[in-house]
Amino acid sequence: MKKKIIIYLEDLTASQEVLLQKLLQSFCVEQIEVLEDTTSTLLVGDLQIDVERRQVWRAGNLIELTSMEFDILYLLAHHPGQVFSARQIYEAVAADSFDASWTGISSMVYKLRRKLGAGIIETVRGHGYKFVAPGTSLK
């Protein structure tokens, strides 16, 4: 089973980066990606979330999202595997919006799933929703 290690690095020197790559290789980590400016881009599997431009790409294709859909995706993707209730999602991303109610979150998640494809956002029956990295399964 493949495992992914995500390490957020700030102000890393070139020699420290090389040392880190050698260390990870010694633990048989198959794929090493060093992302610069990790504060503005979240990369998980084939899903890329550009926070500054508020754009989402999947397998190299731009996915058009509404502002609310983007906020929901970013919240969930920033906390993979963590379950959020509809009310928690509403309070985190839509509480100041006059166009949304917490009961409408399920409709927005449905639309988001249709745009992203299956397997990215899972329903945890009776509890809420969680983000699952593309190509993995969190049970």
- Domain definitions of the chain by residue range: 1-34, 65-131
Of the two residues 75 and 134, the one the predictor is more confident about is: 75
- Give residue 38's pLDDT band: very low, low, confident or very high (50, 70, 90): very low
Three-state secondary structure call for residue 124: strand
Q: CA 76, 86, 67: angle at the middle one, nearest 5?
A: 55
Q: Using the predicted structure, report yes or no on whether residue 1 has a pLDDT greater than 80.
A: no
Three-state secondary structure call for residue 33: coil
The Cα–Cα gap between 123 and 121 comes to: 7
- Give residue 104's pLDDT band: very low, low, confident or very high (50, 70, 90): confident
pLDDT tens track for 46-91 = 889 998 899 999 988 999 999 999 999 999 998 889 999 998 998 8
Q: Using the predicted structure, report yes or no on whether residue 44 has a pLDDT greater than 60.
A: yes
- Give residue 40's pLDDT band: very low, low, confident or very high (50, 70, 90): confident
Please name the residue ranges forming H helices in the chain: 14-26, 67-78, 86-93, 105-116
pLDDT, residue 37, reads: 46
Residue 123 backbone dihedrals phi, psi, to 5 degrees: -90, 130
106: exposed, middle or buried (Cβ count in 10 Å: 0-12, 13-18, 19+): middle
pLDDT, residue 65, reads: 96
- Give residue 112's pLDDT band: very low, low, confident or very high (50, 70, 90): very high
CATH architecture entry for 65-131: Orthogonal Bundle (1.10)
Q: Report the length, in residues, of the chain.
A: 139
Per the listing, tokens 């992914």 go with 4
pLDDT, residue 118, reads: 80
